Each structure stands twice: as C-alpha cells, then as structure tokens.
Amino acid sequence: MTIRTRFAPSPTGYMHIGNLRTAIYEYLIAKRHHGQFILRIEDTDQERLVEGATNVIFETLKTVNIDFDEGPGKGGEYGPYVQSERRQIYREYADKLVELGGAYYCFCGKERLEQLRSECESAGKTYRYDGCCKNVDNDLAFTRVKNGENHVVRQVIPTGGHTTFTDVVYGTITVENSELEEGVLLKADGLPTYNFANVVDDHLMKITHVIRGSEYLSSTPKYNVLYSAFGWELPIYIHLPPIMKTKDKKLSKREGDASFEDFINRGFLKEAIVNYIVLLGWNPGTEQEFFTIDELKQCFEVQGLSKSPAIFDVQKLRWMNSEYIKRLSVEEYLQYAKPYFIQAGLVDIDLHKLSVLLKNRTEIFSEIPEKISFIKNLPQYDIALFTHKKMKTDSGISLAVLKRVLPVLQDIQQWSVDDINNSLMNIVAESGLKNSQVLWPVRTALTGMESSPGGAAELADILGQSESIRRLELAIQKLV
C-alpha cells in the first residue's frame, strides 16, 4: 500500500502552531514510508475566508521546506484540490447517498428550524433536528428538488446500535448512534459542510492516513457512518492531542496566540520552530533533541506520538532557537542580524565584529536592537550603576579606576581587543584590585547599562578608541 496523507487547511487566517504541526506530521508520515503528501484547500466555509490566507499556507509550507506532491498549482490525478472547485462532485455524491439511503433531502425553512431550536431550549434539551423531512416520499422529494425547491441534504444516522473505530493514538473508541445528530451534508447554496466534503475528498483522493486534531474524535463516528453508507474502506485515523498554552488553556489564534509567521517576524529561525513543534507530542525514543527535516523523514514513527496534551513553552523555544543560532557561521549570523543592526541605526561600525560578539549571546534576533542600543546613543544612566556588591565595587573605586584607565587607553597605538584587554589586565596586576573592580566600571561607562553583550575590551573595540575615550570622560565627570 502506498501511503497517502493530506494537509487540508481552511484559508481563514494565519498558520497557527497546531495547524503547522499537523502538516509536518502528515508530511513526515508519508515521506518516512516513501508515500505522497497532498495539499487540499478546504474553502467551503465562505463566510470565514480571509483574503490572502491561501498564499500564507503556500508560503509557510515553502518556508519550512515541505513540498507537496499534489495540490493547487501543481495538479495531480485527483484534482481539483480546492474544494470550492469541486461543487459538482459533492452534488453528485450527495444525490448518490440519498439513493443509497444514507441521506435525505430536507426542505425545512429557517423559521421552522429556529422554532425547533427554541422549543428544545425551553425544554432544557440539546437541539437536534427532529427528522421531519426524513419521512417525505423519495419520489416526491426528488421532484421537489428537480423543481428547484430550496433544500439541504441531511445524513441518515442508524437508529440503534453503535459505531466503533480504532485510532492509532487513542485506541478503540465506541459511540452510541443515538448520540449522533443527523447533520447537514450539503447546504442550500450547494456547498458541502466539512463533515461531508472531507469524507468524499479523502476517499476520491485515496487518502490512506487521516491525521488531524483530537477535537475531531467526536465527529469521526459520523464520518464512518458515511463511509459505511457508500461502502467505502475506512482510512487509518491518527488524532493528535492539543497544544496547550497552560494545562487548562489551549493555544488559540482567536485569542491572539502567536502564529508561525509571528515567530519568524520576532526573529526565530524556521529550523528551530519546526524542530520544537515536532517534539510537541512526539518522542523519538532517544536522547536526541535536534533534528533536520531530512533526519526526521528517516526516523519519524507514529509509535512515538503521545495522547497527552503538549504545553507550548516559549522559553524552551527561545533556548532551542539560541542553540540553532550558535550553530550558524558568523557570516550566516550576520545575514540574519543585519536588518536588526540597521534598525538600531548601526551602519558605520564593523558588523562582522559585532556579529562575533553577539552570536553566542542571541536568543531571538528581534531583541538585538535593544541589546545594542547603547552603541549609537549612550543612555542617560544613574551613577548607582557603578556600585555593585557582587563585583566588589562602588562609585569611589569606580572613579579611581576610570581615572587610571583613561590615559592608558588613550596611549594605545593599535586599537584591538587584545591590546585593550592586556592594558586593563596590567592595571589589575599593578593596582592589586580584582578583575571585576576594573572591568565593571569600564563596561558601565561604555554602555550605561546594567547588562550588555560582551566584556569591557570587546565593547571598547566595537565603539572605537575616540568614542570609548569620550564615554570614559563622561563617566568620570558624573562620578566626580
């Protein structure tokens, strides 16, 4: 059997993290077994469509190096791959399902349905359609449809018994048919509901493995009733646990939780995001934490999937991103960081040196401007910064140190990290002071910040001799 999986997003906004994880898992399951990965756009809910959202789907998959084998713009044997272009197919199969006894035409108007809903609410009952049109004679119903009478197509649910299916992650699940509603399959506008379209498309596109969120577990029995009514073989189900913000709250794009695009715009590397997302609900069975897509295609197995919800820990993602950044060459780092250097107004300094300084101190690129803002403009700072208990220094020691350092740095002929550092270490040796008692005042004078990337010599080298001298002189004036 050739494994065929599908990613079937609705273009209703940005690509949220749970949706991207599903796409990655579907891709990996197919590629691990040399199968096909299909992209299908499910745009039948016309009221929720967002302009440009389909392009976001394409661009996101391209960004994370997931290439679909069949889909919009690429074609394939089972297209079209956009549901709104398959309207006639759904009409054909809805009518066929009525003939098979798995569905019926419903002519109830909006007013009657609203009245029925109101009666259920008044009686304290869960609203369900009462099956009124189920008893309409088939020939009469077909004539009414042929005459253009407004209608929908509803699913027939067996009145007794139960529906059982097996999910790879959650095991065997059984639901009493009496708990299932005879929902709409084809709407009055001729477009299908998700419940109908996904079953028809998955069958016609020969999808062997259906991977989706666990929120669809409760709907799966209804899908299986459809498969049974058509006489079609069931796919293999793999339902994924939710990704949670906290143990009690799911990630939600409706509540503004970050999307993949948001994380990219904040300076996370796509490789780190993908790596982290894959591990949200999947255990490789080894101690390995870092994977490329190519490595995952070789080792991803569904047996590693968990049924427990995964907590999305931004701090863990930041750590993983910092590890990926450390693995970059200085040239690669500069390529990513340069827009942020420009944002910080830094165009007249050695950006290569700055990259060497920052590469192993960067968690996400968007924080760079704030970290290096002192380079362009020395902030207004309180002299209290020169007092630091752990560094065993205060304003008095700092003033004495800076007065001693200033002429030494002025006399350096070759301004470099090594020469600056050697000069400062000579002062430490000659004065009998601790390293921190010399380096802390110099670093503070150069940056005006409580914390900054790099040590005193590295920062002085970046700032240049004249600017470093100017800042030391300003600090001395503050401390006098």
Same domain, 320 and 263: yes
Total domain count, the chain? 3
Last-in-domain residue among 293, 311, 327: 327
pLDDT digits (tens, 9 = 90+) for 281-310: 999 999 999 999 999 999 999 999 999 999
**Residue written as token pair 């165009």:** 347
**Are both 155 and 34 inside the same structural domain?**
no
207 plus 248 within the same structural domain: no
What are 38's strand-pairing partners? 6, 70
Across the range 365-385, mean pLDDT stands at 94
pLDDT value of residue 276:
97
Find the domain containing 409 and state its range. Answer: 383-479
How far are the Cα atoms of 43, 121, 267, 272, 284 from residue 322, in angstroms, in the given order? 38, 54, 11, 9, 22
The residue to which tokens 């189920």 are assigned: 134
Whether the link from the prior residue into 80 is cis, omega within 30° of 0, is: yes
The mean pLDDT value for 446-450 works out to 95
Residue 348 in domain: no
| Segment 74-100 mean pLDDT | 95
pLDDT of residue 457: 96
In this structure, the answer to whether residues 49 and 177 fall within a common structural domain is: no
Question: What's the CATH code of the domain at 469?
Answer: 1.10.10.350
Q: Please identify which of the residues 250, 253, 297, 434 carries the catalytic annotation.
A: 253
- Whether 135 has a pLDDT exceeding 90, the answer reads no
pLDDT value of residue 126:
83
Residue 14 has pLDDT above 90, yes or no: no
- Answer whether residue 352 shows pLDDT above 80: yes
Amino acid 51: pLDDT: 87
The region that residue 188 occupies, defined by phi over 0 for left and psi between -120 and 50 for alpha, beta otherwise, is alpha
In a domain, 335, yes or no: no
Q: What is the mean pLDDT of the chain?
A: 93
CATH code: domain of residue 143: 3.40.50.620
For residue 281, being part of any structural domain is answered with yes
Q: 110 and 195 share a domain?
A: yes
Cβ neighbour number for residue 343 with a 10 Å cutoff: 11
| Confidence at 343, pLDDT banded by 50, 70, 90 | very high
d(CA 354, CA 357): 5
Q: What is the pLDDT of residues 196-230, one digit of tens each?
A: 999 999 999 999 999 999 999 999 999 999 999 99
Average pLDDT estimate for 14-22: 91
Whether residue 346 is contained in a domain is answered as no
Which of these, 365, 381, 372, lies nearest to 328 by C-alpha position?
365
* 190 and 322 part of one domain: no
Largest Cα–Cα separation, the chain: 107
Last residue of a domain, one of 327, 349, 374: 327
* Known catalytic residue at 110: no
For residues 262 and 235, membership in a common domain is answered with no
221 and 167 within one domain: yes
Q: Phi-psi region for residue 182, left (φ > 0), alpha (ψ -120 to 50) or beta?
A: beta
Are residues 25 and 130 part of one domain? Answer: no
**Is 363 inside any structural domain?**
no
The pLDDT of residue 46: 79
Is 287 in the same domain as 201? no
What is the spatial distance between Cα 253 and Cα 312, in angstroms, rounded to a whole number?
14
The Cα–Cα gap between 5 and 221 comes to: 20
Q: What is the pTM of this model?
A: 0.90
Residue 317 CA to residue 457 CA, distance in Å, equals: 32
Instruction: Taking residues 150-176, report their average pLDDT.
Output: 94
Based on the fold, state whether residues 408 and 303 are members of the same structural domain: no
β-strand pairing of 4-7 with 36-39: parallel
Residue 212 confidence (pLDDT): 95
Report the pLDDT averaged over residues 435-457. 94
- Triad 424, 428, 430: Cα angle to 5°: 110
Assess if residue 370 is contained within a domain: no
Do 217 and 90 reside in the same domain of the chain?
A: yes
Q: Which residues pair with 306 in a beta bridge?
A: none
Read off the pLDDT of residues 251-290 as tens digits, 9 standing for 90 and up: 766 666 678 999 999 999 999 999 999 999 999 999 999 9
**Residues 16-42, mean pLDDT to the nearest whole number:** 96
In a domain, 173, yes or no: yes
